[in-house]
Amino acid sequence: MIVRRWLAALAGARHDVLEQTPVDRFRYVAAGGVLLTTSAVAAVSAAFALRMAVRVAWPLAIAGGLAWGVVILNLDRLLVIGMTRRTGWWRNILGALPRVALALLLGTVIATPLVLRIFQPEIDAELEVMRNDRAARFEEELSRNPRYAAIPDLERKLNELQALADRNPDTAAAADPAVVAAQQEVDRARGVYDEAQRAAVCEIDGTCGTRQPGVAEAARERQQARDVALADLRQAEADLATAKDKARDAAASASTSAGQDADRVRDDLAKIRQDRENDQREFAAASRQDGGLLARIEALASLGDKRPDLWFAQFVLSLLFMSLELLPVLTKLIQLSGPPTVYDQIIERMDDEATRASARAAAREQQIVDSYAEYQAALEHDQAERQFDAGRRANQLLVAEQEAIAERAIRRWAQEAHRRSDRELDEWFHRNGDARHNPAPGPRPWTPDDTIPFHRPRPD
């Protein structure tokens, strides 16, 4: 029961509504099972993909696959729950097209690692063939490389220089043309000397020539000829020794120079060989690593080009796994295209009630806001009137106080003016000889000669 409730919730159903429509419960439980199956297939596919592409350990690959399965589950739930019924079947189809496209993309991503895993033996064999082909092409490229193509010539040159450096100077001197010529001259001079010696001895013995024993004129002539031949022989031997010394020195110098050249050629040859070995080693390392996801996809495509039956099997399997991803969306689309179920009617009625309740709540809130605004405006209006009345009273009081202050100031000024006028008048009379403090009874007549230096200020 708990599993069925969880599967129904996974498909986006409400338990309180399903309690009223038991028939629809099975449909949503099945839809939840399809979503769970799709996510499980996605998890397995992701685990295989991580193992093939990143070559991680199986525990990490399984953990990554489970995480990917959860992601696919949430995406599928979003695709299915987000599809709502619209008026008109064509509107439902148009609304579902983006979700179908996304589901198709996810299905392709999920199907690829599974297809690669199913055809793994054939793909491994094709990868080996492709590696051998690439190795052959790589070796051919190395052989066409001008730098590496010079290795045989350098090896041959090194052998020649090393043979020259290792040759014995005496042996080299013996083969020298000058030494050979000097040796031939020595051999010729020795032959001449031997012949002259034999003729001289024979003449003295009397066995040849005049056949008279003893040293006579003929014998002395032959002895002189022998001495000349001996001198020539000694000179030839001296020339041979000189030629051998020169040839030996030249051979030693040539051997030293050849040894130095051989060392230089050996270093160049070793560097070129090392570079070629490094290239071969890097290629071998890249070939060993060339077994990831992209390489397997390439191998599968190559197999499909060579074997149409394998391509067809691959195509059918890809459609199968993609259909698993498309199934929830297509099922939801078919459901929306048909007549509404009891569950749909209840949900629609609940949505309408919720919409009306929301509208009523919004109206009440708006009424409260409007009333609050009216009361606030009334309070502000009353406050303004009271402030105006208070301002008028304050102005009246201010004017009255200003008038009283002005009146008191004027009265004090008038009193001060009277006192000052009386004082100045007394001073005038005092300067003019009349004692104002003892005036004659009655009014004093005014004469034109009387002058008053000031006038009494008229109070304003």
Phi/psi-derived region of residue 261, left when phi > 0, alpha when psi is between -120 and 50, beta in every other case: alpha
Number of domains making up the chain:
3
Same domain, 159 and 284: yes
Q: Is residue 352 part of a domain?
A: no
What the block records as the tokens of 451 is 């002058």
CA 117 to chain centre: 30
**At residue 303, what is the residue type?**
L
Same domain, 240 and 313: no
Mean pLDDT of the region 234-261: 75
How far, in Å, CA of 95 to CA of 333, rounded?
Answer: 9
Q: Is residue 124 part of a domain?
A: no
Mean pLDDT of the region 77-88: 73
Mean pLDDT of the region 57-67: 89
Greater confidence (406 vs 252) lies with 406
Same domain, 311 and 284: no
Q: Is residue 403 part of a domain?
A: yes
Check whether 294 has a pLDDT greater than 80.
no
Write the CB contacts of 178 (distance below 8 Å, at least 6 apart in sequence).
243, 246, 247
Mean pLDDT of the region 183-187: 81
What the block records as the tokens of 391 is 């301002």
Check whether 187 has a pLDDT greater than 60.
yes
Same domain, 331 and 387: no
Which residue range is the domain that position 387 belongs to? 361-432+453-460
Check whether 452 has a pLDDT greater than 60.
no
pLDDT for residue 166:
64
pLDDT for residue 165:
67
Same domain, 285 and 389: no
Same domain, 153 and 281: yes
Nearest to 336 by CA among 71, 147, 84: 84
pLDDT for residue 156:
82
Most confident of 88-97, 223-232, 295-304, 360-369: 360-369
How far, in Å, CA of 227 to CA of 230, rounded?
Answer: 5
Residue 84 is classified by DSSP as: -
Check whether 459 has a pLDDT greater than 70.
no
How far, in Å, CA of 261 to CA of 161, rounded?
Answer: 7
**At residue 67, what is the residue type?**
A
Rg (the chain; Cα; Å): 67
Given 229, 256, 289, the domain boundary residue is 289
Given 289, 321, 348, the domain boundary residue is 289
Q: Is residue 437 part of a domain?
A: no
Q: Is residue 426 part of a domain?
A: yes
Share of the chain above pLDDT 90, in %: 1
Same domain, 263 and 366: no
Question: From the CB of residue 129, how many other CB atoms can be counted at a distance below 10 Å?
Answer: 13
pLDDT tens profile 101-130: 877 887 787 788 888 888 888 888 888 888
Same domain, 210 and 270: yes
Same domain, 311 and 285: no
Q: Is residue 393 part of a domain?
A: yes
pLDDT for residue 169:
62
Same domain, 311 and 418: no
Check whether 431 has a pLDDT greater than 70.
yes
Q: Is residue 294 part of a domain?
A: no
In this prediction, residue 447 has a pLDDT band, given cuts at 50, 70 and 90, of: very low
Check whether 179 has a pLDDT greater than 60.
yes
pLDDT for residue 311:
82
Q: Is residue 39 part of a domain?
A: yes
Same domain, 100 and 170: no
Same domain, 217 and 256: yes
* Residue whose structure tokens are 């009277």: 418
